[in-house]
Chains A and B, each alone.
Chain A
Amino acid sequence: MALDEAAVRRIALLARIALSDAEIDTLQGDLNGILGMIETMQAVDTRGIEPMAHTVDMHARLRADEVTETDRHVEFQALSGQTEDGLYLVPRVIE
């Protein structure tokens, strides 16, 4: 499997990463290199081995259902570009 230029542009769009034509060219090579390596790894016989969902073989820690957080929106919103009436403001989006 190899990615063509259009596929690289599409992935960049999905990830909201702006790339120049030169970068697209470099990344196309890099990504295809990675895919090539994965293809090599496909040769390993993995029959009967359950796929892992996580790199570490452990299970999730759970927490009790308790409210432990307080209202800190003023501090958080100090980091934000634009706010009003406690709301974060963003460029208009309409569905």
Chain B
Amino acid sequence: MDWEIVIGLETHAQLSTHSKMFSGASTAFGAPPNAQACAIDIALPGVLPVINRAAVDRAVRFALAVGGQISPRSVFARKNYFYPDLPKGYQISQYEVPVVVGGSIRIETAAGVKIVQLTRAHLEEDAGKSLHEDFHGATGIDLNRAGTPLLEIVTEPQMSSADEAVAYARTLHALVRWIDVCDGNMQEGSFRCDANVSVRRRGDKRLGTRCEIKNLNSFRFLDQAIRHEATRQIELIESGGRVVQETRLYDPDRGETRPMRSKEDAHDYRYFPDPDLPPLVIDAAWVEQVRAALPELPVARRDRYEREWALSGYDAATLTQSREMADYFEQVVAAVGGAAQAKLVANWVSGELAAALNRDTLEMSDSRVSALALGGLLGRVIDGTISGKIAKEVFDAMWSAGAVESAAADRIIADKGLRQISDSGALEAIIADILRANPGQVAEVRAGKEKAFNFLVGQAMKATRGKGNPAAINTLLRKALAD
């Protein structure tokens, strides 16, 4: 039987504000339990929520980045349920009129390019945390996270494989970091996904019954959970069973999804507009102000690198994975005199530099070699002072010592005597020695064997300890052999 998988994702992105959605308590991660839960967050009687302007600002920024519509007047609603980490007995969310409607995200997988349509994005507050470790049979409640602003981003059920879902999640993750609305820290729970998964026979127009898998906080778990859940549903139907709509959890240790032990009542949320909060009004002037401050988006930069700087699609995509990387790349290009050297810079940034960052598990912003310093190094490759090979050696030295200034490379080249030998007199003497020492190879070259020529070039490079200018050696060797 041929099955089709249908996936929709709901992503909770924690907005990078200093204070909470509706209170002036701090959102900083890692504080002692309940040190950042104020009277509003713990729902003492008589308190009133007041909306954080910066959270709305970020929602508007997101809307502009995905081409969504910004509701000029959106409504906060109470989502009612009882759970100890939700002190009010309801979560303030948005229901009928969310702040962002529509928009889309462009994703790429091995299967090609796809546009994933967004249904909506709405503002809401996070709940606290329940700690189930042993407190004499009780559960411990930390409300520091309660009231933290979230943007819940919901897609249409449009993805048809775990690969597409992961590509979407990665693209969205990169985007929210790029536009600075969310720090994207998945270990700390700043970016987490719920996946709605259903299956249907290929060609069937109707959607199958879906299950929602909650709280997937890594791309790997998202991938595995979808694969396991789709397989489970297909096997269930093929063996004569029926999928029941429910919420499930992914257990990575056992490689399976299992139903959450909530009662069905948990989903009867009885939404209604929150009487404590009049509608949120966002006027055109506010939107324009946010638009004016919006950074150039990754897709636009990518196109510009391909169009104006003639980079390959692959290079352009690699360099625009994060805004820090793209900014660094552009600073190096500017330092070496512009567009003509963009390809060389791209190779270094996505090659040596990315490898070094990876090796030391550093973020771009913590690079041990500054853009200016890398520019200084590449300037010496461009003007022929050193070869590309020697440059790698200089780069390693710069990385170990840390390099900030543009002259860092020059100092290392001088200290280690790495300056390339381009002087004809010096090279000619070396070449003469090599020809004398290798009469057999010389005869082979004269008989037309190119391999022997490469051997002689190699000997000359070795004699100069890698510092000989390869182009000069080539020319002078040809000349010497022709004599």
Contacts and interface: CB of A to CB of B under 8 A. Distances in A.
A88 B86 CA distance: 12
B132 A94 contact: yes
A89 B135 contact: yes
Where chain A touches its partner, the secondary structure class is loop
Where chain B touches its partner, the secondary structure class is loop
Nearest to A72: B38
Contact of B84 (A53, A71, A90): A90
A47 interface: no
B141 A60 contact: no
B113 to A, nearest CB: 37
Interface in A42-65: 53-56, 58-65
Contact of A88 (B18, B34, B82): B34
Given A62-B56, A65-B19, A73-B35, A91 B139 contact: yes
Interface residues of B, number: 57
Contacts of A20: none
A63 B141 contact: no
Contact of B52 (A14, A63, A86, A87): A63
A23 interface: no
A76 B39 contact: yes
B279 A60 contact: yes
Contact of A62 (B23, B51, B73, B268): B51
Given A62-B52, A88-B141, A92-B139, A67 B35 contact: no
Chain A interface: which size bin?
Answer: 35 or more
Nearest to A61: B50
Contacts of A59: 73, 278-281
Contacts of A89: 135, 138-141
B184 interface: no
B142 A87 contact: yes
B128 to A, nearest CB: 9
A7 to B, nearest CB: 12
B356 interface: no
Contacts of B51: 60-63
Interface of A: 10, 13-14, 16, 53-56, 58-69, 71-73, 76-77, 82, 84-95
Interface of B: 17-19, 23-26, 32-39, 42, 44, 50-56, 73, 75-76, 80, 82-84, 97, 130-132, 135, 137-143, 249, 260-262, 265, 268, 270, 273, 275, 277-281
